[in-house]
């Protein structure tokens, strides 16, 4: 088999930049509640954000050989999206690999596992989303795959999909759906601005969201 594939097509850079300005929760809701990624995969430090084409990496549990290969072959702006099966608790990437990623101008790392040298990675300002920190070292002799569809945090991610993360979590949007989801996200932002203005004028969230009828249908009773 071919272990390392190329990404056939990446999203347009203008679309990526438009998504970069949006909150992940907004994108998730606008997409029809699709693309949710396990919230156990969190930013290494508050304020870290990622937004870029998914460069998918499947590693052997406890082995980071394919991550090294990905650092060599990914393009500027790509986000490495790496799965280790159920081998979460190893430090798959540290400060030296972080240096290589920054030199290659990668968009970040999203890993369904752990990293180490976390202080250095944070100081480097290299965006990492992971399950946590682990000092346990890895082997470098297991062949996996690069740029195949990947099961990542409960979502299926295809190479070239747009993956995004902020303090609230992570979401993925299929490349072919980006234009539609972007417009729906912008519409949602405009709608929420209007709702915010109504709340500031004193309308309750019950009224705003028409929840009184829901309460009546459920048989809610209030003390007189």
Percentage of the chain with pLDDT > 90? 96
Burial-class residue 27 by CB neighbours within 10 Å (0-12, 13-18, 19+).
buried
pLDDT in tens, 112-159: 999 999 999 999 999 999 999 999 999 999 999 999 999 999 999 999
pLDDT, residue 224, reads 83
pLDDT, residue 171, reads 98
pTM beyond cutoff 0.85 = yes
Short-list 147, 155, 142, CA closest to 73:
147
d(CA 147, CA 73): 11
Q: Which residue in the block uniquely carries the two structure tokens 């480097």?
A: 124
d(CA 81, CA 123): 21
Mean pLDDT across 176-181: 98
66 pLDDT band, cuts 50/70/90, is very high
CATH H-level, domain 13-176: superfamily: Ribonuclease E inhibitor RraA/RraA-like (3.50.30.40)
**Beta bridge mates, 52:** 163
Mean pLDDT of the residues in the chain: 97
Write the CB contacts of 180 (distance below 8 Å, at least 6 apart in sequence). Answer: none
Mean pLDDT across 40-64: 98
Domain boundary assignment for the chain: 13-176, 184-217
Short-list 159, 149, 148, 185, CA closest to 34:
185
């Amino acid at each position: 088999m071919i272990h390392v594939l190329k990404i056939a097509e990446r999203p347009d850079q203008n679309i990526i930049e438009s998504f970069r300005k949006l909150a992940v929760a907004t994108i998730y809701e606008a997409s029809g509640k699709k693309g949710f990624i396990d919230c156990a995969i969190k930013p290494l430090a508050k304020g870290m954000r990622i937004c870029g084409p998914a460069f998918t990496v499947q590693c052997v549990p406890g082995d980071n050989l394919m991550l090294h290969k990905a650092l060599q072959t990914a393009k500027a702006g790509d986000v490495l999206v790496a799965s280790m099966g159920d081998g979460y608790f190893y430090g798959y990437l540290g400060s030296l690999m972080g240096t290589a990623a920054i030199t290659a101008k990668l968009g970040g790392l999203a890993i369904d596992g752990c990293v180490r040298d976390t202080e250095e990675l944070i100081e480097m300002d290299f965006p990492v989303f992971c399950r946590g920190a682990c000092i346990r070292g890895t082997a470098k002799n297991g062949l996996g795959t690069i740029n195949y569809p990947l099961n990542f945090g409960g979502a299926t991610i295809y190479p070239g999909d747009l993956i995004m993360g902020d303090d609230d979590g992570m979401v993925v949007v299929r490349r072919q759906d980006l234009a539609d989801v972007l417009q729906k996200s912008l519409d949602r932002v405009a709608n929420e601005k209007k709702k915010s203005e109504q709340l500031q004028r004193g309308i309750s969230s019950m009224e705003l969201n028409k929840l009184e009828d829901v309460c009546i249908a459920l048989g809610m009773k209030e003390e007189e």
